[in-house]
Amino acid sequence: MMVILGGGCSRRRRTIAGEILCPDKFEKPYFEELSLRIRSEAEHGNVLPEPQSIFRAFGLVSVDGVKVVMLAQDPYPDKDVF
Protein backbone atom coordinates (compact mmCIF):
# COMPACT_ATOMS: atom_id res chain seq x y z
CA MET A 1 0.00 0.00 0.00
CA MET A 2 1.31 3.43 -0.92
CA VAL A 3 1.86 5.86 1.93
CA ILE A 4 0.49 9.34 1.20
CA LEU A 5 2.27 11.16 3.99
CA GLY A 6 4.74 10.20 6.66
CA GLY A 7 4.11 9.73 10.35
CA GLY A 8 1.12 7.88 11.74
CA CYS A 9 -1.11 8.61 8.75
CA SER A 10 -0.10 5.55 6.75
CA ARG A 11 -0.85 3.11 9.57
CA ARG A 12 -4.15 4.79 10.39
CA ARG A 13 -5.20 4.73 6.73
CA ARG A 14 -4.53 1.00 6.55
CA THR A 15 -6.53 0.19 9.63
CA ILE A 16 -9.42 2.65 9.27
CA ALA A 17 -9.74 4.32 5.88
CA GLY A 18 -8.50 1.22 4.06
CA GLU A 19 -11.44 -0.70 5.50
CA ILE A 20 -13.97 2.02 4.71
CA LEU A 21 -12.78 3.08 1.27
CA CYS A 22 -12.01 0.83 -1.70
CA PRO A 23 -8.61 -0.57 -0.71
CA ASP A 24 -7.89 -1.81 -4.24
CA LYS A 25 -7.76 1.83 -5.37
CA PHE A 26 -4.69 2.42 -3.18
CA GLU A 27 -2.71 0.03 -5.40
CA LYS A 28 -3.51 1.76 -8.72
CA PRO A 29 -0.78 3.78 -10.53
CA TYR A 30 -2.87 6.96 -10.46
CA PHE A 31 -3.12 6.74 -6.67
CA GLU A 32 0.65 6.40 -6.37
CA GLU A 33 1.09 9.49 -8.57
CA LEU A 34 -1.44 11.39 -6.48
CA SER A 35 0.32 10.31 -3.28
CA LEU A 36 3.67 11.57 -4.55
CA ARG A 37 2.18 14.91 -5.55
CA ILE A 38 0.45 15.38 -2.20
CA ARG A 39 3.66 14.49 -0.34
CA SER A 40 5.61 17.01 -2.44
CA GLU A 41 3.06 19.77 -1.82
CA ALA A 42 2.98 18.96 1.91
CA GLU A 43 6.75 19.40 2.13
CA HIS A 44 6.21 22.98 0.96
CA GLY A 45 3.37 23.59 3.43
CA ASN A 46 0.69 23.68 0.72
CA VAL A 47 -1.56 20.90 2.06
CA LEU A 48 -4.24 21.29 4.69
CA PRO A 49 -4.94 19.81 7.09
CA GLU A 50 -1.43 19.10 8.30
CA PRO A 51 -0.31 15.50 7.63
CA GLN A 52 -0.74 14.40 11.23
CA SER A 53 -4.37 15.59 11.19
CA ILE A 54 -5.59 14.01 7.95
CA PHE A 55 -7.37 11.11 9.63
CA ARG A 56 -7.97 12.86 12.97
CA ALA A 57 -11.75 12.60 12.63
CA PHE A 58 -11.53 8.80 12.76
CA GLY A 59 -9.84 9.07 16.16
CA LEU A 60 -12.62 11.28 17.50
CA VAL A 61 -15.57 9.13 16.41
CA SER A 62 -16.23 5.42 16.74
CA VAL A 63 -16.13 3.90 13.27
CA ASP A 64 -18.95 1.55 14.26
CA GLY A 65 -21.22 4.56 14.81
CA VAL A 66 -20.55 6.16 11.42
CA LYS A 67 -23.38 5.87 8.90
CA VAL A 68 -22.32 8.50 6.35
CA VAL A 69 -19.09 10.32 5.59
CA MET A 70 -19.40 13.56 3.65
CA LEU A 71 -16.37 15.05 1.99
CA ALA A 72 -16.49 18.74 1.19
CA GLN A 73 -14.10 21.61 0.77
CA ASP A 74 -14.49 25.09 2.17
CA PRO A 75 -12.89 27.86 0.20
CA TYR A 76 -9.21 27.08 0.43
CA PRO A 77 -7.62 29.32 3.08
CA ASP A 78 -4.80 31.69 2.33
CA LYS A 79 -1.67 30.50 4.09
CA ASP A 80 -1.25 33.85 5.90
CA VAL A 81 -4.83 33.98 7.21
CA PHE A 82 -4.75 31.49 10.09
| Whole-prediction pTM | 0.47
pLDDT one-digit tens code per residue, 39-78:
888 888 777 777 778 777 777 777 677 788 787 777 666 6
Pick the closest to residue 53 from 8, 2, 3 (CA basis).
Answer: 8
Q: What is the pLDDT of residues 21-30, one digit of tens each?
A: 566 777 789 8
How far is the C-alpha of 27 from the C-alpha of 72, rounded, in Å? 24
- pLDDT band per the 50, 70, 90 thresholds, residue 2: very low
Residue 18 parent element (H or E): helix 18-20
Parse the chain into domains and list their residue ranges.
1-82
| pLDDT the model gives residue 10 | 47
Name all contacts of 58-63 with Cβ < 8 Å and 24+ positions apart: 58/12, 58/16, 58/17, 59/12, 63/16, 63/19, 63/20
